[in-house]
Structure 1
């Protein structure tokens, strides 16, 4: 029998139950008992859903209150002393590491003031993980029993699960040395870490686990020789322990360049992502020993389109022909963490388009159907296959997916359209004449707190309970308040605060042709931050201006420069569920042309500072160096420049990037006049040095907007001094890490005031 397997299921709950209870806990409105109760209920619901669907191999330990890598750091006692010294309950230490913690002293406890650990993108996805941070003298030990507890939880329900654990090589490679230990290469800690892995696996076996899914996703990266060699060390060691069988699991890319590292490893099987790289099948099969299993990742864990059953069944049958049915597992390509929970919650999408989609719950069923088709025969699922074939054909022929005018406009793109009229030095001179911007200019990244009132009014407008005129007056009032605050605090380049915007991609998608939207298609981005990615279903175009009215109004009520705020073409692409029937490049070019029209209209309306954010540009970078990566950089950069190059020299183009390991050369190629980069969680001084020769202007983000912590003025001064040791003062902007949408007003006001006061101190010292 060919078994079916799911590598992981969304933990957020169909109604965002996890977000609600964690945020209530952080706010002191919910107890730790209630937090754990909801977590247990969500796990039980997910296990039962998969069991009832007929899945053979169901995951456990895929749940987390914040991030699965952070779970592992707490479990293995990888807790820097700045957190452990407070002797907080384990769950509070966990959250402090993830989001920082700042609270005053009480009669029963001392004051706490600690920043969060660094957070970065999970490979090329929009999920963020908390990077393991290894201090001097780190002592690995089991600091809890979460994987065992959750396995036993499922077992008590009569559900036998396969625990999921990120493997030792990936865990170390994805980590970094702490600021007190910068000379450390984390992979050198492997021999110290392995006994703790062995102890954990032995306890899982003792609890009844016969197989463990051990994720080694870094196998899709370019790995140094010492990391490749670490696989033999790690898995030969674990094979001598009293461990369950291990399924070595990879996803998101091509493992062929690292096949030698895993050939002959004493594992029970290998999982590969054949959605992303179907052509790796023969090579993966070639390294399997006769007794090893092949887990075929054939249902897409990263996108929402239905699986084409005919093609998937053909592929799985080809795998069966190579290794035999008894050695094949039909699986999701990766965890389903990256997809919404269920289509059942979607009531507003047209039935025609909804029929093209499969969310996590539906993908669970897809895995079961494919496994049944290749085991029992296609006749056993004939109705399901017929319905699927009809749906796939309908999408391919639909007029929704094709717009001749858009295709013709894309074909007319010329290289000159992606070039500014003059080089940066000439543009800077024109901007100095046009814009009154001082030394050490202060600004924010765009959004201000989205208050309850804003959400209530937006919801009323969406439901038709208030008129467009009433809603517009409310938005203008919010803009006036934000502009007045920025003038009072002393910011130099202002923003309108984005009160009318729900999400930085969804807002634009709702105003573009070609997009489709969900009502409840939430996906976890990090912690309790969930996004509802729009879906690119057809060719994209802009029927009318999208932001001009609000930006023009905001500029009309201040004499200071006002930034128009847009999301860039690559971010609009990457933070949507993209099409899988045309190239990513074509989709980016369509978006770039739509945004080009908006940039030009903003300039015509008197908005002469325009920020086009591209935080996702690094996210789209192919995971391995080579021709594919070079090609991506070329068309991604050209898409940004196509969107922004139609303006005059005196108009200043900004862009923003965050939570990625950025390449300064890629940022330089964009030729934006000013870029702002997430910096507050970077504690390696070499990071500043990487941007020391950046030719245009730059703002390295000075405080972490994902944390409620308020940095004192002295902290801003110290960080600015660090930057000025390698970066010229004439080119430095002062700004936060990212938008302030998720913060409260009290901490926003305090943080910005401290930031502006620090900038004024530096400005005064230069003038003296």
Structure 2
């Protein structure tokens, strides 16, 4: 019995990679220094895996930004606009990830999308018809040699050809199938390199195999891999899948000439049945993902042992994680303040390595101590229930999810109430969280800054934020959210039912890390969450200031959820809590309330056949529950990130918000066609510039974007806003970008007014 993992967190136990990379971006360290820090971090991680007695250790799971981007660079899938900058390899890489604005040119970043059903985001490769596929294996080779110097023969890990080609976007006539022949040659070249370096195995990650796959796609995959594996010099191939089951492809996979197949037995609902029903080849190993790589609860050993027992009847089994441990925090050792009775229920990345070792010991020796301890743990009560909350959930009826009057009637009432100009301008919510603001928060937590002094500083910052927005002429303002550490954690800290950590960071994208709170019990609102801040901000201006809330689906999706009740029930608990806050804001005179559902798509099942029954049929009504009781003149906004929403536009319209803003700039405004096709009724604000890049958009650039929007949507339906909140940007970038946004919107209004006047004049002349 051997143990392995799909991948390991790369940011470090204390986010060392994040801080080093950001220092490099600020030019505080050199490229050589950054590379040295990264090398030390990799060595630390490999030594940790050795110490934890992992039998089979991967390499190539480390990345400065994203492993899909790494694969694109590995095969020279680099668009010409980045190559034309003539930057170093690393600078070109970061230009693709973040955009570039400097003496070499001005380019936007690649698109960024959700990585399947996780909170991680990958960079979308962009394939031009002129692309020349060739291998640059320098980083791959360097990391293999680094591991070998530590006495490790690693298993190099690369995104597989099908997933890589089919996650990419194509700017010309070429499509994924056109890429395969040259891509196969490139992978075979890498196989030879790996073989010559003495590596016995290579791992090809193919999570795209868990999607719904039509018959012709199955044939395409079979042909792709048969051609790929026809080379002479090659290591053994582990074909690794995760995030779901391979029901459409199972027979094809077990017939392929690969030496191992990795299957997810946590989210892969049908994988066990597939193995039991169809068998598994004796000449292949089954890498069984039995440790949850996405949640932080301890593994229930007896259930897992039962699964392994069934698998061992059919296959030679290696124990593994369901997916990369990238999606969980690094170690519980960073959480000394958690009670021992609480800590006992959690397993972060390091602790999951221990679980693998304990399962191996139980299976291969007579020592059942770990099993007995685990059984005692699961015999305990760990979740806190509340009868009032349970009664409220059970009492919900259809009327609680329906807002009256209907959208069209509300829209007319709101037009009279607010009298906004055409193309009204706003931001998504947060303003930059400066070093100064973070220091205030830290001092307040330590007691070094009194509550009143802290509140005074926050109000001063809010007042400055309101004054700036009024100065540049935004139509709907925000208070800046300076009091908030995170859009989910902040609310969780004020709701009953949550548990919090200090250093349980998880990578979201690039250098962006989040600290998801843990749902520990039934959730309810104990006191106002944001009313005081919103009321204060509104008192500073005659313009409307949005009340800013995070929606129930996003709070759920960006938390570590309970395992004893359904996701639906937890979400409805959150919805009732946020509903109480919405009504309180309305009572205190806040006329516009934004309820962000940035993560709406995150837990959407990967198979379309499961979309409604397992998710949308309760996620969309949960949002409606939040605002169903507000008055007609109260305008409800929501926001969604990473615009992979074209296939659920109908359902999004059914959320019955009054205004919806979408991230759109990185996806080239693709969502507009879907909105028009669906006859989308809600007012909409497609993001007009990318806030995930340090680039400052020009006025002309934003004007051009607005023109593209108005080609697809009626002007009466359009709002002008950035892609997302501005928390991660610095103040200089933010202020100049917003000035450009307002200037562009006002210019477009003048253009439209001039055109209308010209048309009216022509009509008069004709008469």
**TM-score, normalised to structure 2's length?**
0.96
Residue number in structure 2 paired with 1:745: 731
Aligned partners of 1:686 and 1:656: how far apart in 2?
17
1:666 Cα deviation after fit: 2.0
Give the deviation of 1:628 after TM superposition: 5.0
RMSD across aligned positions (CA):
1.3
Per-residue CA deviations over 1:687-738 (Å, capped at 9, x if unaligned) read 3211122111000001110111011100111111111111000110000000
Q: Which moved more, 1:231-240 or 1:536-545?
A: 231-240
Instruction: Tell me the CA shift for residue 239 of structure 1.
Output: 2.1
CA distance in 1, matches of 2:599, 2:313: 40
Inter-partner Cα distance in structure 2 for 1:553 and 1:638: 32
Q: CA deviation at 1:686?
A: 4.9
Give the corresponding residue for 1:233: 223
Q: Take 1:188 and 1:371, find their aligned partners in 2: how far apart are those partners?
A: 44
User: 758-767 or 742-751: which moved more?
Assistant: 758-767
| Residue in structure 2 matched with residue 594 of structure 1 by the alignment | 577
Match of 1:197 in 2: 187
Find the counterpart in structure 2 of residue 145 from structure 1: 138
In structure 1, the partner of 2:79 is 80
**Paired residue for 1:348?**
337
Query: Relative to structure 2, which stretch is displaced further, 254-263 or 654-663?
Result: 254-263
State the distance in 1 between where 2:181 and 2:36 align. 37
What does residue 514 of structure 1 align with?
Answer: 497
| Cα deviations by residue, 1:212-246 (Å, 9 ceiling, x for unpaired) | 11111001112344432232222222322211111
Q: Aligned match of 1:264 in 255, 259, 264?
A: 255
Give yes or no for the alignment of 1:607 onto 2:599.
Answer: no
How do 1:132-281 and structure 2 match up within 5 A?
Answer: 132-178=125-171, 181=172, 183-241=173-231, 242-281=233-272
Q: 1:169·1:227 contact (CA, 8 Å) conserved in 2? A: no
Aligned to 1:673: 658
CA distance in 1: counterparts of 2:74 and 2:622, whole angstroms: 43
Whether the 8 Å contact between 1:64 and 1:71 is mirrored in structure 2 is yes
8 Å CA contact 1:134, 1:186 repeated in 2: no
1:566–1:613 CA contact under 8 A, matched in 2: yes
Specify the alignment match of 1:504 in structure 2: 487
**Distance in 2 of aligned mates of 1:574 and 1:44:** 33
2:323 alignment counterpart: 334
Q: CA deviation at 1:282?
A: 3.3
Match of residue 757 from structure 2: none
1:51 and 2:59 equivalent? Answer: no
Contact kept? 1:187, 1:227, Cα under 8 Å: no
d(CA) in 2 for partners of 1:237 and 1:287? 25
Match of 2:686 in 1: 700
* Separation in structure 2 between the aligned mates of residue 756 and residue 391 of structure 1, nearest angstrom: 58
Aligned to 2:114: 121
Q: What is residue 67 of structure 2 aligned with on the other side?
A: 68
* Counterpart position of 1:108: none
Q: Distance in 2 between matches of 1:72 and 1:8?
A: 15
Distance 2:108 2:199 in 1: 37
CA distance in 2, matches of 1:437, 1:630: 40
Q: List gaps (5 residues or longer) in structure 1.
A: 106-110
Q: Which runs of 4+ in 1 moved over 6 A?
A: none
Per the alignment, residue 417 of structure 2 pairs with: 434
Aligned match of 1:623:
606
Residue of structure 1 in register with 2:350 after alignment: 361
Query: For the Cα contact (< 8 Å) 2:605–2:614, is it kept in 1?
Result: no
Query: What is the alpha-carbon distance in structure 2 between the residues aligned to residue 45 and residue 226 of structure 1?
Result: 45
Is 1:299 matched up with 2:291?
yes
Question: Can you list the C-alpha shifts for 1:492-528, whole angstroms capped at 9, x where unaligned?
Answer: 0000000000000000000011111110000000000
Residue equivalent to 2:363: 374
CA distance in 2, matches of 1:628, 1:433: 38
SS across alignment from 1:47? helix
Q: C-alpha distance in 2, partners of 1:174/1:158?
A: 35
Equivalent residues in 2 for 1:518-597 (5 A)? Answer: 518-597=501-580
Residues 618 and 660 in structure 1, CA contact (< 8 A), matched pair in contact too? no
C-alpha separation in 2, matches of 1:436 and 1:558: 16
Report whether the alignment pairs 1:101 with 2:100: yes
Is 1:682 aligned to residue 667 of structure 2? yes
Displacement of 1:276: 1.4
Instruction: Point out the more displaced range, 685-694 or 638-647.
Output: 685-694
Give the counterpart of 2:438 among 438, 455, 462: 455
User: Aligned partners of 2:303, 2:709: CA distance in 1, in Å?
Assistant: 54
- Looking at structure 2, the residues matched to 24 and 744 of structure 1 have their Cα atoms a distance apart, in angstroms, of 14
Paired residue secondary structure (1:757): helix
Does the CA contact (< 8 Å) of 1:603 and 1:647 recur in 2? yes
Task: Quote the residue 1:322 is aligned against.
Answer: 314
Deviation (angstroms), 1:40: 0.7
Q: State the alpha-carbon separation in 2 of the partners of residues 706 and 210 from structure 1.
A: 40
Q: Distance in 2 between matches of 1:234 and 1:488?
A: 59
Using the TM superposition, give the Cα deviation of residue 631 of structure 1 relative to its aligned residue in structure 2, in angstroms.
Answer: 4.1
Bigger mean CA offset, 273-282 vs 202-211? 273-282
2:497 aligned counterpart, secondary structure: strand
List per-residue Cα deviations over 1:7-66 (Å, max 9, x = no partner): 100000111100110000000001111111111111111111111111101111000000
What secondary structure does 1:401 align onto? coil
Partners of 2:275 and 2:123 lie apart in 1 by 31
Matched, 1:40 2:39: yes
- Closer, same or farther: CA 619–278 of 1 in aligned 2, 3 Å: closer
Residue 136 of structure 1 and its aligned partner are, at CA, apart by 1.4
Q: Structure 2 CA distance, aligned partners of 1:724 and 1:557?
A: 33
1:389: which partner in 2? Answer: 375
CA contact (8 A) 2:547 2:594 kept: yes
- Cα displacement (A) at 1:660: 4.2
User: 1:256, 1:280 within 8 Å by CA — same for their partners in 2?
Assistant: yes
Residues in 2 aligned to 1:351 and 1:287: alpha-carbon distance in whole angstroms = 43
**Bigger mean CA deviation after superposition, 628-637 or 731-740:** 628-637
Corresponding residue to 1:724 among 710, 724, 735: 710
Task: Give CA-to-partner distance per residue, 1:395-417, whole Å, 9 cap, x none.
Answer: xx24x421111111111111111
Q: Distance in 2 between matches of 1:760 and 1:224?
A: 49
Cα deviation for residue 617 of structure 1 reads 0.9
| CA pair 113-228 structure 1, distance change in 2 beyond 3 A | same
Distance 1:629 1:287 in 2: 31
User: Matches of 2:275 and 2:426 in 1, distance apart?
Assistant: 51
> Given that residues 137 and 190 in structure 2 are in contact (C-alpha distance below 8 angstroms), is that contact kept between their aligned partners in structure 1?
no
Corresponding residue for 1:131? 124
- Number of residue pairs aligned between Structure 1 and Structure 2: 748
CA distance in 2, matches of 1:766, 1:239: 60
The residue aligned with 1:735 is 721
Deviates more, 1:345-354 or 1:356-365: 345-354
For residue 426 of structure 2, what is the aligned residue in structure 1? 443
Q: Structure 2: how far apart are the matches of 1:88 and 1:223? A: 40
CA shift at 1:199, angstroms?
A: 0.3
Query: Bigger CA drift: 217-226 or 456-465?
Result: 217-226
